[in-house]
Amino acid sequence: MNASANDLLTVRALRKTFDGFQAIRGVDFSIGHGRVHAVIGPNGAGKSTLFNLITGLDRPDEGEVTFLGSPCSHMSPASLCRRGMVRSFQKSNTFLGLSVFENIQAAIVSRSGEGWKIWPPLGRRFADEVQEIAEQVGIADKLDLLPEDLAYGYQRQLELAIALASRPRLLLLDEPTAGMSSTDTHRAVALLKRIVEDLNIVLLITEHDMGVVFSLAERIIVLAEGQIIADGNPEDIRANAEVKRVYLGKS
Amino acid sequence: MAVKTLDNKRNRLLMATALFLGLGAVPFFAPPFYVVFLNDALIIACLSMSLNLLVGYTGLISFGHAAYFGLGAYACGLLLKSAGLPFGVSLVAAGAFGGLGAAVAGFFCVRLNRVYFSMLTLAFSLIFWAICFRWNDLTGGDQGLSGIPYPNLTWISQMIGRPDFSSAQSYYLVSLVVVAICIAAMWIIVSSPVGLMLRTIRENEQRSTFIGVETRRVKLAIFIVAGTIAGLAGGLFAVFNRGVYPDFMYWTKSAEILIMALFGGIGSFWGPAIGSLTLLLLHQETVALTEYWSFALGVILLVLTLRFPSGLWGLFERFTNTRRSK
Ligand SMILES: Nc1ncnc2c1ncn2[C@@H]1O[C@H](COP(=O)(O)OP(=O)(O)OP(=O)(O)O)[C@@H](O)[C@H]1O
Ligand SMILES: [Mg+2]
């Protein structure tokens, strides 16, 4: 596609094979303008794999990912995070032995470049920022708990808090509402809307819940068997016959 | 809340200072036998605490930590004996060699995770051991390196106004100060931002990289710090015992330090020190019955793993907490 130099993210001719199985077979897209982009597709379509390739958890066999104008397929997740590409995971993924406070504090420490300092002692430094982020996602009264003591919906919010603490420019959320009750889902959607508006963050999400997708996304990429079969605004996607056949028809 | 943490901090500092002064007072009234025992105990406690930086704080289970203790011991012994360098310089070099060994081994080890990390640390410790064991001309091979000259410490006994102090008594004070500096350094590290980064690696290394932590570099750094402190401990130990032997760095020694740390409790800062002190006392008591030592260690390990995975310190905390909450 015609990617321009000031695109936030460009994915070009990406391929990934696992033991002969082609999980991603030639994916191209770019994120220029627009706030919320969704990747949808049936189970096993390759959505998580695509996220892993973009965020440096996995290396593509072919193709290239460009973030903020520089090729980044060789970069580590840590350096991508420092450049502003941050992600969450499909399965809850936090620091289980650390308090909710420390989970968020750790991400702030790392982002602010203090991760290598041995003086002064950390104590409750950054408490104000931790508080602010925790309030944004609605877990401010749970800072002294351990992640495992949180209800599932709040664990997902904690993940979001950790991600926000890294001050992302591009935030990739892998099924942010999976496994949530419908009340939690409504709250999460409202929260994501607010965050996108308040914090000037571009979101790229995968999601199975079409209600969530259509209420959040301005643009939808449909992935099936490792290939993009449609890419456009929600109305186009709703009307697309191919998409209906592969995906929407089933649900 | 803030007031309470401040109080806690001050209390901890006060307690550590009291401990330091109390230990410093020992040679002034206790019989020399205790001073000799306590000197070794302090050094080994410092060694197992340095291992705890890896095991307890970073989740890196090293099976080869004695290697860096041994490297420091050989370096210090050789520099004193063969090169005739002053004690202070040799001791610093002991730390440097421990750190250097750890840098070489760590460069490879931190690339692996879990049991593969442990196996590689074990492999490196065997290699370091074999080099020291085989390099007869330099290290004395299986005979070890004996006759390390004792430093002249009369300036210490004069400074504190006790010219009657034996060199062992003065040396104990040196050990105490060096160990205290090491412990203070470890305390600073674990309470610092770096300390929190270490714990994120322990809890979930992959997630840690996604908050921007260069986990390999951090792991290598803490591996080198732990190796440096182990090296310093080795240097102190070698000079006091006037000799270095290959089994200082044999893998069984590494296992022993690990057991000490686990026994005391790797979930806490002081646990490993308590563990090593307790085990050394036990060893002292059963020294006439050496064939039972392995048996005793085995039983301790068994009870520990099955009943008290958080070690002596965990027991102690549970006890004080229930008392307080009643
Ligand atoms: N590490 C791996 N090794 C082997 N196969 C893999 C690996 N990761 C993913 N796959 C396969 O690649 C395909 C795509 O998986 P992926 O997790 O990306 O799907 P997804 O679209 O995220 O599905 P879901 O909606 O269930 O999360 C699946 O068939 C999966 O089995
Ligand atoms: Mg997935």
What is the mean pLDDT of the segment spanning B148-165? 91
Weakest-pLDDT range from A39-43, B246-250, B297-301? B297-301
Bridge partner residues of A25 (DSSP): A15
pLDDT at position A5: 60
Is the CB of B13 inside 8 Å of chain A's CB atoms?
no
What is the mean pLDDT of the segment spanning A173-196? 92
Nearest residue by C-alpha to atom 1 in ligand 1: A18
Weakest-pLDDT range from A95-109, B138-152, B234-248? B138-152
Q: Report whether A212 contacts A32 (CB < 8 A).
A: no
Looking up tokens 């260069």, which residue turns up? B214
pLDDT at B7 over 80: no
Find out whether the beta carbon of A90 lies less than 6 Å from any atom of ligand 1: yes
Q: Nearest C-alpha of chain A: how many angstroms from B203? A: 5
pLDDT tens per residue across span A202-243? 999 999 999 999 999 999 999 999 999 999 999 999 888 888
| pLDDT confidence tier of residue B140, bands split at 50, 70 and 90 | confident
pLDDT at B2 over 50: no
Token code pair at residue B62: 């090293």
pLDDT at B319 over 90: no
pLDDT at position B36: 95
| Partner-chain residue, chosen from A78, A94, A102, that has the shortest CB–CB distance to B212 | A78
Q: Report whether B234 contacts B68 (CB < 8 A).
A: yes
What is the mean pLDDT of the segment spanning A11-36? 94
Q: Between vectors from CA A79 to CA A76 and to CA A83, what angle results, nearest 5°?
A: 135
Q: Nearest C-alpha of chain B: how many angstroms from A149? A: 16
Distance CA B20, CA B24 (A): 6
The side-by-side arrangement of strands in the sheet containing A219-224 is A85-87, A170-174, A202-206, A36-40, A219-224, A227-232
Distance CA B82, CA B93 (A): 14
Distance CA B138, CA B85 (A): 16
pLDDT at position B323: 55
pLDDT at B326 over 50: no
CA distances from B292 to B40, B252, B288, B297 (A): 21, 16, 9, 9
The side-by-side arrangement of strands in the sheet containing A62-67 is A21-31, A9-18, A62-67, A70-71
From the CB of residue B1, how many other CB atoms can be counted at a distance below 10 Å? 8
SS3 A94: coil
> CB–CB of A121 and B211 under 8 A?
no
Residue from A16, A17, A48 whose mutation best tests the ligand 1 pocket (most atoms within 8 A of CB) = A48
Nearest residue by C-alpha to atom 31 in ligand 1: A44
Ligand 2 centroid vs B183 CA: distance in angstroms? Answer: 46
A15 backbone dihedrals φ, ψ, rounded to 5°: -135, 140
| Partner-chain residue, chosen from B194, B203, B213, that has the shortest CB–CB distance to A98 | B203
What is the mean pLDDT of the segment spanning A37-62? 96
Which CATH architecture fits B2-325? Orthogonal Bundle (1.10)
- Packing angle, helices A182-199 and A152-165, rounded to 10: 10
**Residues contacting B299, CB < 8 A, separation 6+:** none
Residue A17 or residue A245, greater confidence = A17
Weakest-pLDDT range from B11-15, B67-71, B192-196? B11-15
Distance CA A199, CA B116 (A): 42
List the domain boundaries for chain B: 2-325
pLDDT at position B23: 97
> CB–CB of A122 and B206 under 8 A?
no
Instruction: Give alpha helix (H) positions in A94-146.
Output: 100-111, 127-137
pLDDT at B164 over 60: yes
Residue of B nearest to A96 (CA): B203
pLDDT at A73 over 70: yes
Query: What pTM, to 2 d.p., does this model score?
Result: 0.94
Q: Which atom of ligand 1 is nearest to the CA of A50?
A: 18
What is the mean pLDDT of the segment spanning B297-308? 83
Is the CB of A115 inside 8 Å of chain B's CB atoms?
yes
pLDDT at B314 over 70: yes
In a mutagenesis test of the A interface, which of B194, B197, B211, B216 is the best target, namely the one with the most A β-carbons within 10 Å?
B211
Weakest-pLDDT range from A241-250, B40-49, B97-106, B238-247? A241-250
Ligand 2 centroid vs A204 CA: distance in angstroms? Answer: 13
Q: Which of B169, B170, B222 is nearest to B196 (CA)?
A: B222
Ligand 1 centroid vs A45 CA: distance in angstroms? Answer: 7
pLDDT at position B322: 63
Distance CA A102, CA A98 (A): 6
Q: Report whether A147 contacts B207 (CB < 8 A).
A: no
Find out whether the beta carbon of A53 lies less than 6 Å from any atom of ligand 1: no
Residue type, B157: S
> CB–CB of B204 and A77 under 8 A?
no
Q: Nearest C-alpha of chain A: how many angstroms from B159? A: 33
> CB–CB of A122 and B192 under 8 A?
yes
Q: For A141, which DSSP code?
A: G
pLDDT tens per residue across span A143-165? 999 999 999 999 999 999 999 99
Q: Report whether A88 contacts A188 (CB < 8 A).
A: no
pLDDT at B254 over 50: yes
pLDDT at position A1: 44
* Cis previous bond, B246, omega within 30: no
SS3 string, chain B, reads CHHHHHHHHHHHHHHHHHHHHHHHHHHHHCCHHHHHHHHHHHHHHHHHHHHHHHHHHHCCCCCCCHHHHHHHHHHHHHHHHCCCCCHHHHHHHHHHHHHHHHHHHHHHHCCCCHHHHHHHHHHHHHHHHHHHHHCHHHHCHHHCEECCCCCCCHHHHHHCCCCCCCHHHHHHHHHHHHHHHHHHHHHHHHHCHHHHHHHHHHHHHHHHHCCCCCHHHHHHHHHHHHHHHHHHHHHHHHHHCCEECHHHHCHHHHHHHHHHHHHHCCCCCCHHHHHHHHHHHHHHHCHHHHHHHHHHHHHHHHHHHHHCCCHHHHHHHHHHHHHHHC
Cβ burial of A163 (10 Å; 0-12, 13-18, 19+) is: buried
Question: What structural domains does chain A harbor?
Answer: 1-84+174-191+202-251 (3.40.50.300), 87-167 (no CATH)
Residue of B nearest to A118 (CA): B192
Find out whether the beta carbon of A84 lies less than 6 Å from any atom of ligand 1: no
Ligand 1 centroid vs A1 CA: distance in angstroms? Answer: 25
pLDDT at position B1: 39
Q: Which atom of ligand 1 is nearest to the CA of A49?
A: 18
Bridge partner residues of B145 (DSSP): B244
Average pLDDT, chain A: 92
A21 backbone dihedrals φ, ψ, rounded to 5°: -95, 120
pLDDT at position A6: 72
Q: Report whether A177 contacts A184 (CB < 8 A).
A: yes
pLDDT at B315 over 90: no
CA distances from B300 to A55, A242, B264, B275, B303 (A): 46, 67, 11, 11, 5
pLDDT at position B256: 93
Ligand nearest to the CA of A40: 1
| pLDDT confidence tier of residue A2, bands split at 50, 70 and 90 | very low
Find out whether the beta carbon of A16 lies less than 6 Å from any atom of ligand 1: no
Distance CA B101, CA B221 (A): 13
Find out whether the beta carbon of A44 lies less than 6 Å from any atom of ligand 1: yes
| pLDDT confidence tier of residue A251, bands split at 50, 70 and 90 | very low
In a mutagenesis test of the A interface, which of B210, B215, B217, B225 is the best target, namely the one with the most A β-carbons within 10 Å?
B210
- Packing angle, helices B251-264 and B311-325, rounded to 10: 0
Q: Report the sign of the C-alpha dihedral through residues A56, A61, A67, A69, in that order.
A: positive
Token code pair at residue A114: 């203090």
Instruction: Give alpha helix (H) positions in chain A.
Output: 47-54, 77-83, 100-111, 127-137, 152-165, 182-199, 210-216, 234-239, 241-246
What is the mean pLDDT of the segment spanning B232-256? 95
